[in-house]
Each structure stands twice: as structure tokens, then as C-alpha cells.
Amino acid sequence: MKERILYHACRRQVYHTATPYIILRQRYIIEKRNFYDIISLKEGACMSENSCYTYFRITGNFDPDLITERLGLVPEKYWKIGDKRRNGTLYDFASWEIGRCEQYDVLVENQMHTTIAPLLDKIDTLNEIKNEFDVDYTLEIVPTVYTSNSSPCLAPSLKVIDFCHATRTEIDIDLYVMDQE
């Protein structure tokens, strides 16, 4: 598949993308194509892009260092009970996060797969941790959708559902809907 070049008129920058898209000038409808072309927006017609990120989070009463040791994975973000927040207050729960995926895909299940991939062979360990400590597991999905863009598909695949069921992981979708700028 050939690489696409997008020229965004309001930012005057060129973006390269591996996914072929056409943005129609008036209606901003996005549709896939298999041929190379250069896409330009009307002068001054700024279009904001949808985005989404996903991550897996453990919260509760535990020592994050112990979770790191047991799972054999290094978290991307964590804090302990009693650590200071930016506003000066103290956390009253611990948190351990891994698998943050910010590579937006209109099929968000692909991002979910990327997030849970390092955990798929650790289901038994996750269940041992859940039985031993007071913890909750959450698969966080945070899409930002602009009203004039197409909506992402937020449905998890059976693989994601099976993982969440096996580990008693909740799926939390924090959906942000924005008007065009």
C-alpha cells in the first residue's frame, strides 16, 4: 500500500499516513481508497481529527513494586498510597498502568488488543493478585470524537471480552464529544 500525503491547509504542514483516506472538501467525509493521491482542505477549513487512547489499570490497596515483580512487567505509570498529587493532596489508593496505546484506529478493538497483549499470558497471575489483594482491573478507553467526523467503533472483540471476563476486568469508556473548532 502506498503512503499518503495529507496537506492540512490551516496548519500548512504535510502529514504522512499509512492509511489511505480521501477528505471531501465540503462535507469532510472520510472514505478509504487504494490509490495514491494528494489531499488538500479548503483554505481556512480546519478539521480536527478523532483520537483515542487505551490502557490497562490496576487500582486498590497494594504495593506497585510487588505487582511489577509478580507480573514481570514495568508499568508506564504508577503511584503508591500516600504519594503526593500535583495539587498537593495525597492519593488514597495505589495505581499501576500498562499498555497505553495512542495509535488511533477507527476500530478501537485493535487498540484494545495492543493494550492487553502483554497481559494475555499472565491471566493466572492477575487472578492470584486479585484474590490476594484488594484490587480492581480496568481497561480504559478514552476516545475524543468530533461531531463532523465519523464515529469510531468502540465494540470490543471476543478476545478482549474473554480476557476481561477471565480477569474480572471492567471496561471503562470515557467518551469526549467535541464540536468543530
pLDDT confidence band for 78 (50 / 70 / 90): very high
**Residue 20 sits in the same domain as residue 84:** no
Position 41 pLDDT exceeds 90? no
Q: Which of 78-92, 98-112, 129-143 is least confident?
A: 98-112
Q: Mean pLDDT across the stretch 25-52? A: 44
For residue 46, is it within any domain? no
Residue appearing with cell numbers 474473554: 162
**Residue 61 sits in the same domain as residue 142:** yes
**Residue 60 sits in the same domain as residue 35:** no
d(CA 119, CA 130): 14
**Residue 92 sits in the same domain as residue 31:** no
Q: What is the 3-state secondary structure (H, E, C) of the chain?
A: CCCEEEEECCCCEEEEECCCEEECCCCCCEEECCCCCEEECCCCCCCCCCEEEEEEEEEEECCHHHHHHHHCCCCCEEECCCCECCCCCECCCEEEEEEEECCCCCEHHHHHHHHHHHHHHHHHHHHHHHHHCEEEEEEEEEEEEECCCCCCECCCCHHHHHHHHHHCEEEEECCEEECCC
For residue 29, is it within any domain? yes
For residue 57, is it within any domain? yes
pLDDT confidence band for 181 (50 / 70 / 90): low
Cell numbers that stand for 52 in this block: 483515542
**Residue 12 sits in the same domain as residue 94:** no
For residue 96, is it within any domain? yes
**Residue 59 sits in the same domain as residue 129:** yes
Number of domains in the chain: 2
Q: What is the model's pLDDT at position 5?
A: 35
Residues in CB range of 102: below 8 A, 6 or more apart:
51, 52, 53
The percent of residues above 90 in pLDDT, for the chain, comes to: 55
d(CA 103, CA 111): 7
**Residue 24 sits in the same domain as residue 84:** no
Q: What average pLDDT does the structure give for the chain?
A: 77
**Residue 30 sits in the same domain as residue 61:** no
Domain limits for position 163: 51-178
pTM across the whole model? 0.70
Q: What is the model's pLDDT at position 97?
A: 96
Q: Render pLDDT for 84-105 as a digit per residue (tens, 0 to 9).
A: 999 999 999 999 999 999 888 7
**Residue 33 sits in the same domain as residue 70:** no
**Residue 32 sits in the same domain as residue 65:** no
**Residue 8 sits in the same domain as residue 94:** no
